[in-house]
Amino acid sequence: MTSKLLSILATSFLILFYISAIISISTSAETSPNTTTTPKNLCKTTPDPSYCKSVLPTHTHGNVYDYGRFSVRKSLSQARKFLSLIEKYLRRRSTLSVAAVRALEDCRSLAILNMEFLSSSFQTVNKTSRVLSTLKAEDIQTFLSAILTNQQTCLDGIQGTASSWNVKNGISIPLANDTKLYSVSLALVTRGWVPKKKKVTTWTPKGEQLKGFRKGHMKMKMSSQNRVVYETVSRRNLADQEVADAEVLVRDIVTVSQDGSGNFTTINDAINATPNKTDSSEGYSLIYVTAGVYEEYVVVAKNKWNLMIIGDGINQTVITGNRSVVDGWTTFNSATFVVGAPGFVAVNITFRNTAGAIKHQAVAVRNSADLSTFYSCSFEGYQDTLYTHSLRQFYRDCDIYGTVDFIFGNAAVVFQNCHIYPRLAMANQFNAITAQGRTDPNQNTGFSIHNCTIMAADDLAAARNMSMMNNNSTISVTKTYLGRPWKEYSRTVYMQSYFDSSIETVGWREWNGDFALSTLYYGEFNNTGPGSDTANRVTWPGYHVIGNSSDVANFTVFNFLLGDDWLPQTGVPFNSGLL
């Protein structure tokens, strides 16, 4: 090879190198949050680019932080206007149907929450133009995700008021437009302030982190007076219990007993008497509810922070009601037990809705409480038993009974070591264990079902056995599916769980035709039992048989809930990673 040819090749190599470097720098600049850009370019990364361009200012150039702050501020302004609109309709409540008033009241409480979440989010994004810490980023993404969930909940309720078409028309359009704006805010905040989560390439199980409530006991840090009260009412000597890895800090304790021997005779009275907005560093306000059937509609208001309610055990302390959609309630306010306060913990309680399958949607528990925990509890109903509505939630060693969509909502939630019992439904009905309601690809929500047991309840098991023994296809046996997509970006993962033979071989069921089949994310990982065979599962684009632990690690307590940061203080045992 001649020296001239070598010189030409060297020159060509340098030219290619510099072109490559320029392209790399240009690409980096376009994707950097601090790069000045136009709304047109920035909006390409949002779910609805054309709407995004219509709301961002076009006469200026800025970066994702500038536009993100603008969008969140505008969202807060719109939330205030929407609340005023709801109040306007409610001032005319005498002209409206009961169903319409109840739906509007739901929308009002949700709109107030949205204003609070947006105000908090704006304060966060207004302080910095850089990626937040993981914990702060998780908070803001959770709040903005919940805002979209609240919007959808309001819309679902309003659309159910068929007799009040004027309300439906007057509310639905501004509601839909505001939802689009909130989606823009979530997208921009996610791009600018939320760190890209690292892919976990290997995973070492951390095992069960805490033993604080092992065998129904706990190690509690409390005053000597409260300790005496607790040991008296619960008949447990704390000093004799096993040593736990962490203590549960308790600031005060009261007792609910129907026979008048405690501080209160109703749960609601006990809750209302607890202090408002206590910091977690002050410890839990603990309510001990003695055995009995409490026919109350219990509400843990959003200002009752860090409240712990402990019963005498499943089927011993029972909270029951029978509201339903058929009887004129919205799904949202049909719940027997409602919790909206952060840091809530419930232990050893049964929650029931006894409306029955014939009354359709009838919720036992509606949970809209951030960083909330249910341990050793039972949820009993038929359609829509457990409404995991929004924010971050954890369920451990719980029993959940139901038929149609009986675990539903749009929280970021992990169910761990739970028993899930599909029941015998009405004729022509089927069981869908989950109906997850994620509406936006940037929401950090979904269902993670880890090391749980899915097994037919006694009534369904008996019907199945009768059908098989008699070889009689005319006997009505409810078909059971792992879930169906309630909303467009529905996300549910089953991992390391046991499925009995009641699960249909296809596994999952459509909601309506091909709706959401390419945008949902449904996954199964290392499940066992006769119903776990994935050979004949659905072939939807969004369905995945997850093959390795690094992919599924995103749905563990450690990653999905950042649970290592907040679960230890509850005293509830949990597995941080995979088994």
Which residues are marked as active site? 405
- The helix/strand/coil state of 281 is helix
- In 262-301, which ranges are E strands? 284-289, 292-294, 298-300
Dist CA 104 CA 168 (whole Å): 10
How is residue 235 written in tokens?
């008949």
Q: How far apart are CA 57 and CA 186, in angstroms?
A: 17
285 forms beta bridges with 252, 307
Distance CA 248, CA 218 (A): 8
> Phi and psi dihedrals of 251, rounded to 5?
-95, -30
Residue 532 DSSP label: -
Distance (Å, whole) CA 577 – CA 579: 7
- H/E stretch holding 109 reads helix 98-125
Entry field: residues in the chain: 579
- 373, 346 contact by CB (below 8 A): yes
Q: 457: how many CB neighbours lie within 10 A of its CB?
A: 20
Cα(381)–Cα(425) distance, integer angstroms: 11
Half-sphere exposure of 557 (CA within 13 A, CB side): 30
Return the closest-CA partner of residue 408 out of 308, 318, 300, 483: 483
Render 360-386 in DSSP notation, one character per residue: ----SEEE--TTEEEES-EEE-STT-E
Q: Measured between alpha carbons, how far is residue 201 from residues 138, 198, 525, 552, 561 in Å?
A: 21, 9, 16, 10, 19
Measured in whole angstroms, the distance separating CA 187 from the mean position of its chain's CA atoms is 19
